[in-house]
Amino acid sequence: MATEEYPRAVWRLIVHDPADGPANMAIDEAIAARVREGRVPPTLRFYAWEPACLSLGYSQPAGDVDFERLRARGWDVVRRLTGGRAILHVDELTYSVVVPMDDPRVAGSVIESYRRLSRGLLTGLARLGTPVRADAAAEGAHRFRGPVCFEVPSDYEITARGKKLLGSAQTRRGGVILQHGALPLYGDITRICDVLAFEDRAAREAARQRVRGRAITLEEVLGRRVPFVRVADALAQGFADALNLQLEPGELGRSERALADELRVTKYATDEWTRRHP
């Protein structure tokens, strides 16, 4: 796989224990704030969610959610800082990249930066023996407006066997890029349809069939279940190899933890943020 040449750079690598949805989104924003201030280095983070959590895109209507069904299953809900459609975060690995916009690895447009960062993801997944690719979306694909991220085609999404394996979203604020994405490791990829709002049972089942036909888990691709830690290690090495990075294991600093705790309480855990009408 041909890759572009980048100057050697040092990024921080964080592998986190599972956290709830508001905490995970608050941590991503806190890292972005401190990278923007130059207080911490560019950061690659891998994390999981506990309990399962439905995340909405920044501008997605809260009306897409059936909150009664969500509560009945004991699942969380949170609104992301990034765009896109709903994702059910369960049995997955989530990655986030926070880097200044002047880094050549994210130079240019959103689509161009997606393409560059996808090289790290592709290289890492290849280390697991996963036959994957990332292409520009087909003409007219962006007009599809379903509520589920994994049934919506996007540019340079990661696919396997013609189905979406890893979906990503990005935001740019104050000269810093935050991109994060979800890699379903195993389980029923259609479970998200159980907690979204549909007109009737037939519409719910139709959405379930669309998701089943357009999305896939890593276990389905490989025919075996790969532990979270093994996947995180492979993806980290993929980023290092494809983007010429030295990844230094680290953890959140005191100021990041304090800001994340504040953002969780005042923003991401509130109905004002989660259920707002963009």
- CATH code for the domain in which residue 120 is found: 3.30.930.10
Instruction: Provide φ and ψ at 224, rounded to 5°.
Output: -155, 160
Tell me: the pLDDT tens digits for 82-94? 998 899 999 999 9
Identify whether 226 is part of a domain.
Answer: yes
Identify whether 4 is part of a domain.
Answer: no
Tell me: the pLDDT tens digits for 185-241? 999 999 999 999 999 999 999 999 999 999 999 999 999 999 999 999 999 999 999
Q: Is 267 left (phi over 0), alpha (psi -120 to 50) or beta?
A: alpha
The pTM (predicted TM-score) of the whole model is 0.92
Residue listed under structure tokens 């309990």: 51
Band (152; pLDDT cuts 50, 70, 90):
low
Amino acid at 133: R
- Say which range, 121-130, 132-141, 218-227, 266-275, has the weakest mean pLDDT: 132-141
CA separation (Å) from 123 to 1, 84, 96, 162? 8, 24, 16, 18
Identify whether 87 is part of a domain.
Answer: yes
Identify whether 94 is part of a domain.
Answer: yes
- Say which range, 82-86, 142-146, 209-213, 271-275, has the weakest mean pLDDT: 142-146
Name the 3-class secondary structure at 93: strand
Band (144; pLDDT cuts 50, 70, 90):
very low
Q: Which domain holds residue 243?
A: 9-270
Q: For residue 157, what pLDDT is reported?
A: 81
Using alpha carbons, select from 121, 142, 143 the residue that is nearest to residue 132.
Answer: 121
Band (148; pLDDT cuts 50, 70, 90):
low
Please tell me the total count of domains within the chain.
Answer: 1
Of all residues in the chain, the percent with pLDDT exceeding 70 is 91
Average pLDDT, the chain: 92
Q: Is the pLDDT of residue 150 over 60?
A: no
Identify whether 186 is part of a domain.
Answer: yes
Q: Is 175 left (phi over 0), alpha (psi -120 to 50) or beta?
A: left
Asked if 268 and 77 touch (Cβ cutoff 8 Å), the reply is no
Average pLDDT of the residues in 70-92:
96
Identify whether 3 is part of a domain.
Answer: no
Identify whether 275 is part of a domain.
Answer: no
Active site residue 193: no
**Active-site entry in 149, 216, 232, 269:** 149
